[in-house]
Amino acid sequence: MTTAVVAIIGVVFTGSTAEASCFRPPDVEADLVSSDLVFVGLVTELANENRWAVFRLEEVWKGDPGGDRVEVRAGPGPRAATSNDRTYVAGERYLVFASDLSGGPGAWFDSGEGARWVDSACSATRPYESSLGRFRPGPVSSESGSSVATAVIVGAVVILAAGAMVAVVLRRRSRAG
């Protein structure tokens, strides 16, 4: 009897995409439109049975994460579960489609204090593969991209300063001569 109860509980509370009660199958193109934040990131921390993850951002395709790391919650707090829970794997790169709770009515589950970004098994979130690059929108922000932009700005300032110094030296020589 105990084994049967455990088996039933395991079936009811296992959260995979195949078992999720979603209104539509996950779709990358549709979720690019409907999600508040879309990014490629590496899972650096996990909590709450691997349903809450901290990602180090590599590319932001849509939205403003507010930093170079973002926490995404894909299930309710401890000791609770839904059929739409998603789990993550530490060290795995994902293309994540998240919803913003900061100004909205809240998620369909209690994601806990301080939650801003949520995900579920119903989104198009998946381990990142190079073939997903075809969905990448126009220019995307990335850590390496921001470093390049900073280098270009610093380089331009140095060139302008050098040009101004050359102009001053030439002007002084022309007055002296």
pLDDT for position 1: 47
DSSP string, 89-110: -TT-EEEEEEEE-TTSS--SS-
The predicted pLDDT at position 128 comes to: 97
62: pLDDT strictly greater than 60? yes
CB-CB neighbours of 71 under 10 Å: 16
CATH class of 2-137: mainly beta
Q: Where are the domains of the chain?
A: 2-137, 140-177
115-171 pLDDT per residue, tens: 689 999 999 999 999 999 999 998 777 654 444 444 555 555 567 666 666 666 667
